[in-house]
Amino acid sequence: MILIKQADVYGPESMGIQDVLLCAGKIEAIGENISPICGCQVIDASGMKLIPGIIDRHVHVTGGGGEGSFHTRAPEVRLSSLIRGGVTTVLGLLGTDGITRSVENLVAKVKALKEEGISAYAVSGSYGFPPVTITGNLQKDIAFVDEVIGVKLAISDHRAPNISTDELIRLASDVRTAGMLSGKAGIVVLHMGDDIRGLEPVFEALERTSIPIKTFQPTHISRTEKLLKDGFRFAKMGGTIDITCGESKRDKVAALLREAKSQGVPMENLTFSSDGQGSWSKYDENGKLLKIGVSDVDTIIKDLAYLVNEAGFALEEVLPLGTSNVAKALEIDGLKGHIREGADADILLVDDQLELHTVIAGGKVMMQDGEVQVRGTYDER
């Protein structure tokens, strides 16, 4: 049992100075003056902000990369790296490589992260089509593998399988049905490339069917001006668009959000993710790889800090993009992304500059005083 005293609580909305009691991995109570219970650990959070743990919806937990041959395969994510990024919930997925990497390995890593102390989910598939699966059937993956909540696919990219609209419709229909049967989100995570087609295949699929727009969830939406324009249109229609943090100068993210607001894009339909442990790459006009590197998993909290400290956004305005908006999109908002009674005890304590002080995942202290307390089995000590 943990009692956090006198924190400035953002849930993600501003809730003022409150005490927060954690018990059995849940938020038990929130109040102005909660008395300590015998044996309860007390954390004095005076002068600190208390916010929900970050939900990172796009992490290559088994490593991404590989476009520059085998030596460019990125390593697995470490628990300590996620903790340093304030990430208490992660969605793991494959990237370009659905050949030398497998969904079996992905789900095994997701299970390992759960055992090590954070919440973790996965999607089957990679860039290719038909999607790689565990059971040999995508619908069975979603229905019977607890961690799997959907599928990934690449479109409008030179590495994409270039499937037809009919195939996209069939895939989305299968995922939608399997999600309904298993009580999961049932989403198609769409890796978006920089082809001129943008989201046109998705708009066509929506026009031709009654598939709910929430089924399609495109990411890397700021990659090109055309794609961003499509993304804003998609969000105005009620869909969720995902913005990759740390891709470029942070003032670009601020400009993107200002443009979205000026165009009347609902902010609740925007999310942040890191693309952590995935590769970033640059190609010449002939498609030859020029440069490759690995993305970090701390970019969401860093971008939030920039937006608040330097770009003039209010914390309660941008915090949902890494917390409650993501929980809604993944349909886990009953448990995640909020500071409220009955929610999972996934909590961050940050200072006025949004520097991490304490990370609590599932009611367990993972970082305290800026020092990681719980490390993965093979983390560096």
Active site residues: 275
Dihedral sign of CA atoms 172, 197, 73, 379 in order: negative
> Does residue 212 have a cis bond before it (omega within 30 degrees)?
no
Q: Is 229 helix (H, G, I), strand (E, B) or coil?
A: helix
Quote the radius of gyration of the chain (alpha carbons, Å): 20
DSSP for 62-115, please give it. T--B-TT-GGGBPPPPPHHHHHHTTEEEEEE---S-SSSS-HHHHHHHHHHHHH
Residue 72 amino acid letter:
T
| β-pairing verdict for 279-283 and 289-294 | antiparallel
Distance CA 180, CA 183 (A): 5
Distance CA 41, CA 368 (A): 13
Q: Specify whether the CB–CB gap between 24 and 352 falls below 8 A.
A: no
Distance CA 303, CA 113 (A): 24
